[in-house]
Amino acid sequence: MLTIKKGIFLLCTFGAALLTGCSSVKPVNNVSGVAAIDVDHTTRGPVAGVGIESQDIVSMTDKMLRDLLATPVIAGRQVAPRIIIDDSDFQNEGSQPINKKLIINRLRVDLNRSANGKIKFIGRQYAAAVDTERKLKRKGVTDTGTTGLTKAQSGADFKLVGSIGTLDSYVSSSGMSQRYTQVTFEMLDLENGEIVWSNNYEFAKAAADDAVYR
Amino acid sequence: MKLNTITLLIALLTLYGCADTRKMVVQCGFHSEGAPTGPALVAQEYGEMSPIPLNAIQFVDYSLVEQLVVQSLRAQRTPTNTVQVQARMVNCTDFPLVVGVRTHFLDKDQISAEKETAWRNVIIQPHALGSYKESSLTTEVGNYLLEIRDAR
């Protein structure tokens, strides 16, 4: 009898301890889920951290294209220069994994739409596709199209090059992390190697949030 | 008598010294009402029938009105004939301000000449100056309008 009582007492104690343990676990605040919301990609959204985010990409590409169009050596020439803007010489040397094309493609598209013929863009990243079509035309598999034939693919005068760099710091006692990000853009003369234009986009952010970039 | 005169002189000099204290830290005065003219320094509430002045700065956040003063607002042509606007602001608070600024470039008929610029964050230290510079994409710019918001 005494043993049963003891057993019940132990069971109750164990149950109470278990309940206490459970109650100390932080409840999940989205048990029923969070409905999808439309977010303005030009401003900081509800999920934000210390890295490059959509508003940064919008802001940096906007700044670069406006600066490029105000630069005479690029946008003030008698003959529109030919420029390559792709990610082949734009390196991500920072700690954040990021698709570089998000930056490069936005810059090329917006610059192309805004340049109004003052700059010509060479799609060197699509050179293989152009080469295939040129061979088909010259073998007579296809006709010559409507824009005529050229001796060769267009050569370029300048190429956009650059890099992403970061400097990270972390305080374990507070859980705060800080990141300085520097994105460098430069326009390289493809004949003599001169850098004819440069600009930086830099910022630093600090947070204790656990946003994950992927 | 002589002692009294000296005492009086010392007292006067002391008082003058106090009154001549130079304002080493920027002090800001704010308008409480009235629509701005020219480079606007005062917020306007949307929905009011008062027209938004052109070539001016429009405050988006009312809280910024008593924290920030726009010291100058200028525009000039770039070498490629686009328009560059420059604004210089003063942080009147005792803490750093993070403001977002963007520009609407309008043509001479006050129609948008291009899409508004992206928000650019400007961080201004307490009682310090901050500057914002932005260029248009087109040359067909006749007017402009800047917006400022709290970006913290």
Please list, in sequence order, all residues whose beta carbon lies within 8 angstroms of the beta carbon of residue A205, skipping any fewer than 6 positions away: A49, A50, A51, A178, A179, A181
Contact A69 B114 (CB under 8 A): no
H/E run at residue B7 = helix B2-19
Neighbours of A132 (CB within 10 A): 10
B30 at A interface, C-beta within 8 A = no
Q: For A72, name the nearest residue in chain B, comparing CA atoms only.
A: B80
* Residue environment code for A154-178, b if the CB has 16+ CB neighbours within 10 A, otherwise e: eebbbbbbbbbebeeeeeeeeeebe
Question: What ipTM did this prediction achieve?
Answer: 0.73
- Residue among A59, A65, A72 minimizing CB distance to B120: A59
**pLDDT tens track for A1-48:** 446 666 666 555 555 544 454 455 566 666 678 888 999 998 888 888
Longest dimension (CA), chain B: 80
For residues A208 and A174, the answer to whether their CB atoms sit within 8 Å is yes
In chain A, the percentage of residues whose pLDDT exceeds 70 is: 85
Report the greatest alpha carbon distance in chain A: 105
Cα–Cα distances in Å, from A6 out to A3, A11, A83? Answer: 5, 9, 85
Q: Which of A59, A69, A71 has its CB closest to that of B118? A: A59
Model confidence over B68-100: pLDDT tens digits? Answer: 999 999 999 999 999 999 999 999 999 999 999
pLDDT of B98 reads: 94
Residue B148 near residue B68 (C-beta atoms within 8 A): yes
Contact state of B134 with A72 under an 8 Å Cβ cutoff:
no
| A65-94 pLDDT per residue, tens | 999 999 999 999 999 999 999 999 999 999
pLDDT band at B151 (very low <50, low <70, confident <90, very high): confident
CA distance A211 to chain B (A): 18
Q: How far, CA to CA in Å, does A146 sit from each of A139, A140, A154?
A: 17, 15, 18
Cα gap A131→A152, rounded to integer Å: 9
What is the Cα–Cα distance from A53 to A212, expressed in whole angstroms? 11
Provide the shortest C-alpha distance from residue A65 to chain B (in Å). Answer: 8
User: Alpha-carbon torsion A121, A127, A132, A134, what sign?
Assistant: positive
Task: Decide if A71 touches B, using CB distance below 8 A.
Answer: yes
Report yes or no: B82 and B136 within 8 Å, Cβ to Cβ: yes
- Structure confidence by residue, pLDDT tens digits, A106-159: 999 999 999 989 999 999 999 999 999 999 999 999 999 999 999 999 999 999
Cα angle: B85, vertex B88, B92; to 5 degrees: 150
- Chain B's closest residue to A205, CA to CA, is B152
Measure in Å the smallest separation between the Cα of B29 and chain A Cα atoms.
31
Residues 59-98, chain B, touching A (beta carbon < 8 A): 78-80, 82, 84
Looking up tokens 């002189």 gives B9
What's the pTM? Answer: 0.76
- Residue A112's closest chain B neighbor by CA? B137
Cβ-defined contact of A67 to B79 (cutoff 8 Å): no
Which residues of chain A have a CB within 8 Å of the CB of B82? 66, 69-70
CA atoms of A64 and B152, how far apart (whole Å)? 24
Q: What is the pLDDT of residue B40?
A: 46
Is A45's Cβ below 8 Å from some Cβ in B? no
> How many whole angstroms separate alpha carbon A208 and alpha carbon A176?
4
